[in-house]
Structure 1
Amino acid sequence: MTKTVVAVQPSQNHEDEAGAVAAIDVPSSRDVDELEVARELVRQAREAGVGLTGPGGLLKAMTKTVIETALDEELSEHLGYDRHDRAGYGSGNSRNGTRSKTVLTDACGSIEIDVPRDRAGTFEPKIVEKRQRRLTDVDEVVLSLYARGLTTGEISAHFAHIYDAAVSKDTVSRITDRVLEEMTAWHTRPLERVYAAVFIDALHVKIRDGQVGPRPVYAAVGVDLAGHRDVLGMWAGEGDGESAKYWLAVLTELKNRGVADIFFLVCDGLKGLPDSVSAVFPDTVVQTCIIHLIRGTFRYAGRQHHTAIARALKPIYTAVNAAAAAEALDAFDTEWGHRYPAAIRLWRNAWNEFIPFLDYDTEIRKVICSTNAIESLNARYRRAIRARGHFPTEQSALKCLYLVTRSLDPTGTGQKRWTMRWKPALNAFAITFADRMPGSETT
């Protein structure tokens, strides 16, 4: 039966433990159940007085053994024969001892490993490459912590506390800066030809540019005809209300990346955007965000009245048509206008951008009004922004928000399935926009 050997001997301190974990006979998982292997390892470690974790713990020793075994297998594959195999005699290349190096892992901190060498010097290990000092998972941990808003100093302190490993602030910066090229590629990637809806929202980020001040970062989230939510891009604004020229450049960029049509563009109070939409996507319906309207109403109302106001607002945005919605708004004005006139003015000023969606099927309305997925994304963005407080540059702010986007799904694309039932909505879009659906021009 094949065995892997990890030695364990009784020890009294960490220095002894480092050399103590060396004599456990580990049957191969190909021959026995993995659970039994784990139980035997733990039993022998306890008998030897070796802890599970810590500088001289079992996990660290096992990780070292696994990495070194994998490297030895790589060298065998490179040479074309196993250790002590007679086939290697006279082959022209052979093993040439090992060299020690310290690598940082995400599970066990720093580990000293022995990397095998060959006499010809042609061996290029892949598991732990030459000059590599961190395993790939460590970089992913750093990026994940950065996406959650931790500063480079906090990440460095985290590794020192949790892993007992030194990762300098400069190293953390270099790791996160490596995603800049990836971020550029992501921001220029081809997009879908048609989107059922695109939501554009502003996040206010504090950026130190001479002095710390709020700057808007605009995120565009598209919902394609397969029901996937995708972050299309992020753009930093100047902060004093973007011009029509600014939005024309953003929308033209989306068009140049392959977007031919957008059924609905949903936004809230972004000056210059509606006029620019008609220039780039003339058939797109510009719709004000219903959720923002409702929340804006609450800002003007006392908390004790929020429940009653929410109940009074519902007939407005669930009305069968614009005329019925106008009647519901008048009723709302009669009931609450004397107490909260600013809330009424908010609705009347946004009326022309509010009523377009009332002309469409209930399922289409749900897509426009159901912003849970969008709000969930914004909540992640805001959590990372709050944790950082402010950013030294515009690029560092965009990098942090990109890493949040990257963490949304395992593939790192920032794409997620729409959370509501999609088929009824797709049918409604297909009927309402039949002449604009992909493939309609060939039928």
Structure 2
Amino acid sequence: MTSDTTTHGAMQSPADEAVGLFDNWFDPIETGLRGRVREFIEGLVRDEFDAALARPRYARRAAGGEARGVAGHRHGSRTRHLMGTFGQTEITVPRARLAVGDGTTREWKSTALRAYQRRTLAADALIASSYLAGTNTRRVRRALAAVFQGAVGKDTVSRVWRKVKSDWDAWNARSLAAEPIVRLILDGTVVRVRLDRKATSISLLVVCRDQPVTADAFSIQNPHG
């Protein structure tokens, strides 16, 4: 019996231990805010949903006796899970079929809570910032365990970083032909980043644009590749 207990404890990851470490840290402000997160998000989605159908729940026609907006019908709800800087929460999202002009229908989709969205942008920014600070993918989970209850794994960190890098590459490749640039200012700096699982110093070429009103940094490139 003792051996089984010892083995189970030895298999527990540091991230799991970190989550339990703060279980007794009660913050009434944080707890109160997180308790209202689900209510707020569901209300936001429900208002958008009612606006799409042009009538509140259980109502058949809009105020004034005339139908407005998109015709459609409700058909239940589904459960979604969302992770943000407020932690994880479970949300009930209403469902509806909306009439399309050609006589067919399509599933209603919320713009506030995107399809397949599992994290808020603020949560992704927090995860990416931890990674960019030099923390490897496995240690990011440990560092953020108290915030996300251990729900951030190395695969999540990798997906977030790929999204950041994709946006960064697109931003660097954008055309400046239409912008009123007076001159370009070149400078260099050295920063420490994580490359190939090692924290290392790299030289960066910083390019700034001087516009008629203000100067604005617009590109940072590694001259060594």
Contact residue 64 and residue 113 of structure 1 kept, 8 A: yes
* Other-structure match for 2:74: 95
Which of residues 205, 213, 225 is equivalent to 1:226? 213
Work out whether residues 134 and 194 of structure 2, in 8 Å CA contact, stay in contact via their aligned partners in 1.
no
2:9 aligns with: none
Question: Residue 35 of structure 2 aligns with which residue?
Answer: 61
Give yes or no for contact 1:104–1:165 (8 Å, CA) kept in 2: no
Contact 1:207 1:215 in 2 (8 A): no
C-alpha displacement of 1:175: 1.0
Query: Is the Cα contact below 8 Å between 1:159 and 1:165 reproduced in 2?
Result: yes
| Counterpart Cα distance in 2 of 1:65 and 1:81 | 20
1:123 Cα deviation (Å)? 1.0
Alignment of 1:40-439 (within 5 A): 51-53=28-30, 57-87=31-61, 93-106=72-85, 108-118=86-96, 122-189=107-174, 190=176, 192-195=180-183, 198-203=185-190, 215-237=202-224
Q: Which runs of 5+ in 1 are unaligned?
A: 1-49, 238-393, 395-443
- Runs of 4+, deviation exceeding 6 Å: none
How many residues end up aligned between the 2 structures? 182
Distance 1:173 1:212, change over 3 A: closer
SS at match of 1:143: helix
CA distance in 1, matches of 2:34, 2:200: 46
Equivalent residues of 2:80, 2:92 under 8 A apart: yes
**Considering only CA atoms, is the larger Rg found in Structure 1 or Structure 2?**
1
> Could you tell me whether the CA contact under 8 Å between 1:96 and 1:118 is conserved in 2?
yes
Higher strand residue share: 2
Paired position in structure 1 for 2:5: none
Q: TM-score, normalised by structure 1?
A: 0.36
Q: Which amino acid aligns with 1:94?
A: H
Q: Is the 8 A contact 1:109 1:165 kept in 2?
A: no
TM-score (ref. length: structure 2): 0.66
- The answer as to whether partners of 2:74 and 2:96 remain within 8 angstroms in 1 is yes
Residue aligned with 1:58, SS: helix
Cα distance in structure 2, aligned partners of 1:188 and 1:177? 16
SS of equivalent to 1:153: helix
Letter in 2 for 1:104: M
Amino acid at match of 1:177: R
Which ranges in structure 2 are unaligned for 5 or more consecutive residues? 1-26, 63-69, 99-105
Residues 377-396 of structure 1, C-alpha deviation per residue, up to 9 Å, x if partnerless? Answer: xxxxxxxxxxxxxxxxx6xx
Which residue does the alignment assign to 1:412? none
Do the aligned partners of residues 226 and 105 (structure 1) sit closer, same or farther apart at CA in structure 2, a change above 3 Å counting? same
CA separation of 1:221 and 1:86: change in aligned 2, threshold 3 A? closer
Q: 1:51 deviation in Å? A: 4.1
Name the CA shift for 1:79/1:231 in 2 (closer, same or farther; >3 Å). closer
- How big is each residue's C-alpha offset from its partner over 1:269-307, in whole Å with a ceiling of 9 and x where there is no partner? xxxxxxxxxxxxxxxxxxxxxxxxxxxxxxxxxxxxxxx
Give 3-state SS (helix, strand or coil) of 1:176's partner: helix
> Could you tell me how far apart the structure 2 residues matched to 1:188 and 1:140 are?
22
Shift of 1:203: 1.9
1:180 and 1:80 mapped to 2: Cα distance? 40
Distance 1:222 1:60, change over 3 A: same
Aligned equivalents of 2:71 and 2:211: distance in 1?
59
